[in-house]
Amino acid sequence: MYRVASPSEYLVITGVGIKDIKLAKKAWVVPGQSCSVFDVSPVNYTFEVQAMSAEKLPFVLPAVFTIGPRLDDEPSLLKYAKLISPHDKLSNHVKELVQGIIEGETRVLAASMTMEEIFKGTKDFKQEVFEKVQLELNQFGLLIYNANVKQLVDVPGHEYFSYLGQKTQMEAANQAKVDVSEAKMKGEIGAKLREGQTLQNAAKIDAETKIISTQRQGDGKKEEIRVKTEIKVYENQREAEVAEVNSVLAKKKAVWTKEAQVAEVEAAKAVALREAELQMEVERMNALTRTEKLKAEFLSKASVEYETKVQEANWELYKKQKAAEAVLYEKEKEAAAQKASAEAAFYARQQLADGELYAKKKEAEGIVALAQAQGVYLRTLLDALGGNYAALRDYMMVSGGTFQEIAKINAEAVRGLQPKITVWTNGGGGAEALDGGGSGGSTAMKEISGVYKMLPPLFSTVHEQTGMLPPSWMGTLTHSAHDQSTMN
């Protein structure tokens, strides 16, 4: 027959002509084939996952997951058709499968995070749960279309979040109080700061006023000196003009005198005229000289002072620059030397550590090689002895001189102690002496005879080793018994 699936369904066809399974929206179903329909619309699963944080604090995580088949990937859709489609999407089987994956991954992730990290990073926590659950659902061909993690809830008896909310409220209230106090403090400090700045600005203006006043006084003195200089120059010029007028007058007088006494005094007046001309020139030159001298004195003094101050300031600046450059150069050289020293020390330590590491490696390789050689040697001996461990042990002790060493150690232990060693036996003819030499004595009598023969040398040995004598009711030791026991 011809089968057609609805928009939210797929056909799963198996049987003749199909190697595994075939997915289709519409297809012919021929005899020998089986066809079933499964729905691919997503389903909401609501859970309340009980988890525990890294501090062993339990909490409840309400979550709603919208899960359905992955439609954009054919291999995932085939997995879903094989593994999940035979069951109802709302059945306990599918719900327990999805719930087990979500709860397991959520618990594992929550156990690696603190409660504060879970509470503050809810978005990151949700994303990590989403990724880990999706990774597990891929093997069933399922896709998480949406995941909503609700507010974390306290487990009864463990009210962490309620206490945390109270803590946050108290911290906010305390912070508000602190902010109010800081605002008051800033207002008072600002007022004091403004008063201080006002006083500072007033003092600054007073100082600047004094400086400007001093400058104005200096400018006034300079102007006074300049005016005096110009007055002096003018006076000199006026004196020169007066002298010139006087000379003209003298000339006229001379002319008039000359006209009156031309013949008599012509030569004398000519000399006087020449002298007057020369004197006028001298006076004029003296006036110019004094003027230039005054100009040079005041102007040169100011220029010299200015140049001197400039040169002194430049020299001080130059000395400070050179001193700073010298200090900087010394610091740079010192830093470079320290850096080179540190690098050299680090390189030496690194080389020493590399050498020690190489020596340790070679020593370890030698130990391993020796152990391997000894293992081959012991395995060869054991094979030659037919697997007899006792024979191998005896051989190793004999070849290694173990027995000789033991004997040597024992001999060294008793050397210098001078022990008294008594060796005695009960003999072999005591029974005959007790029964008169007859050969028919009973076995019991032989045993009694042996015991009695054993007592004297036993008492004698105890006396020699410890100095103790037997009690009087047991008899006394004779010299003959003592000698006999020593000989035996």
- Number of alpha carbons in the 13 Å side-chain half-sphere of residue 131: 6
State pLDDT tens for residues 147-182.
Answer: 776 666 656 655 555 666 666 667 766 777 777 777
State pLDDT tens for residues 368-415.
Answer: 888 888 888 888 888 888 888 888 787 787 777 777 787 778 777 766
Q: Are the C-beta atoms of 148 and 136 separated by less than 8 Å?
A: no
pLDDT at residue 443, as a whole number: 62
3-state helix, strand, coil in the chain (%, to 5): 70, 10, 20
The helix-helix angle for 160-260 and 262-384 (nearest 10°) equals 160
Q: What does pTM read for this prediction?
A: 0.33
Tell me, yes or no, whether 143 lies in a domain: yes
Is the C-alpha dihedral spanning 353, 357, 363, 367 positive or negative?
positive
445, amino acid identity: M
- CA 70/CA 119 separation, integer angstroms: 32
Tell me, yes or no, whether 434 lies in a domain: no
Tell me, yes or no, whether 63 lies in a domain: yes
Tell me, yes or no, whether 199 lies in a domain: no
Q: Are the C-beta atoms of 63 and 147 separated by less than 8 Å?
A: yes
- Number of alpha carbons in the 13 Å side-chain half-sphere of residue 271: 3
SS3 376: helix
pLDDT grade for 439, boundaries at 50, 70 and 90: very low
- CA 421/CA 464 separation, integer angstroms: 10
List C-alpha distances in Å: 235 to 210, 229, 239, 284.
37, 10, 6, 12
Terminal-residue alpha carbon distance, the chain:
122
Q: Are the C-beta atoms of 67 and 42 separated by less than 8 Å?
A: yes
Tell me, yes or no, whether 51 lies in a domain: yes
Of 193-202, 298-307, 415-424, the range with the lowest mean pLDDT is: 415-424
Residue 125's CATH number: 3.30.479.30
Tell me, yes or no, whether 253 lies in a domain: no
Tell me, yes or no, whether 94 lies in a domain: yes
Tell me, yes or no, whether 447 lies in a domain: no
Evaluate if residue 9 carries a pLDDT over 60.
Answer: yes
Domain hosting residue 72, numbered range: 40-158
| Residue whose pair of structure tokens reads 């005899």 in the numeric block | 31
If one counts the domains in the chain, the total is 1
Please list the residues that pair with 252 across neighbouring strands. none
